[in-house]
Amino acid sequence: MLKDYLRLHFIVLLWGFTAILGKLISVPPVELVFWRTLLATAGLAVLLTARRQVWRIPTADALRLLGIGALVAAHWITFFLAARLSSVSVCLAGMATLALWTSLLEPLVLWRRVRAYEVLLGLLTMVGLYLVSQAEFDQLAGLGVAILSAGISALFSVFNSQLVKKHPPLRLTFYEMLGACLSIVLFFPVYSRYFTEGKGLQLSLEPADWVWLLLLAGVCTVYAFSTSVELMKRLSAFVINLTINLEPVYGILLAVVLYWFKVPGFRQENMSTGFYLGTLVILFSVLIHPVIDQWYQRRRKPAPVDAVI
């Protein structure tokens, strides 16, 4: 069990590292996500073939997964854009609002009742965001894009929760990565004409970019996902969700370490006291959410017959 816990934390550490990789790779966010999804699709195809899993799924489900893949692409593009517009720490503070977005979107999409404790935790998150925005007012644009990215991530997570019960995770993710890649290809003509300031597509990569990109697609995407699927068979959903909520913590700590070592591109990571106070408030609301949710689910379970007697 200790080995599984350590592997889970290592995966979350890798996910926290993605914003840093996004800053190290020189191409713009749209081209970066195109390469990431293309390489991830190829890697997942290799895994599916090696494990001799069936590729085909019903056409309707395939179209839904490809559509969800477009949301994945939008999430990653806005995520890396936020990291470019601000510091990694501010970007991850904005991404920590994922739980807030999920609590707002789940009742709307899945038609379930609003839970009072989620509303209260959402208000607490808003207090933390206010403190962060006041402390780092010059990075407000990046914070706003990061919050939008968290909202898109929550939306595809809610949609995914319905389809993940019907298809093996590797096959599901393959179709979503394929959908993300194809959606970016379809977006390229509009993007190159209106959003590149006349520069056109910048798909050529520097030698160092290939190293970071292969690490991003191969290790942080394909390896991390396939390993997390394996761990889900042995660890509880509560443990996994609680640990994944530590992703902003690991990411911010990594960014601070890079600042200490004076790595170029990470000079913005020296944050004010107000930023860390606001981030702590957000992270508290995020980390306490699965604890309260587990308590709430236990209370809703019917009492055993012998206990009633």
| 54/16 Cα distance (integer angstroms) | 32
Residues 6+ apart with CB under 8 A from 71: 152, 155, 156, 159
Nearest to 191 by CA among 63, 65, 27, 37: 27
Q: For 6, how many CA atoms within 13 A lie in the half-sphere containing its CB? A: 3
Helix H or strand E segment including 252: helix 247-260
What would the pLDDT profile of 287-297 be if each residue is shown by its tens digit? 888 788 778 77
Total domains present in the chain: 1
Length of the chain counted residue by residue: 309
Name the CA dihedral angle for 110, 290, 1, 254, rounded to a multiple of 10 degrees. 100
What would the pLDDT profile of 259-297 be if each residue is shown by its tens digit? 787 777 676 666 788 998 999 998 888 888 878 877 877
| 83/81 Cα distance (integer angstroms) | 5
pTM of the shown model: 0.87
Arithmetic mean of pLDDT over the chain: 86
- Tell me the residue range of the domain where 208 lies: 2-308
What would the pLDDT profile of 224-268 be if each residue is shown by its tens digit? 887 887 787 777 666 776 788 788 888 888 888 887 877 776 766
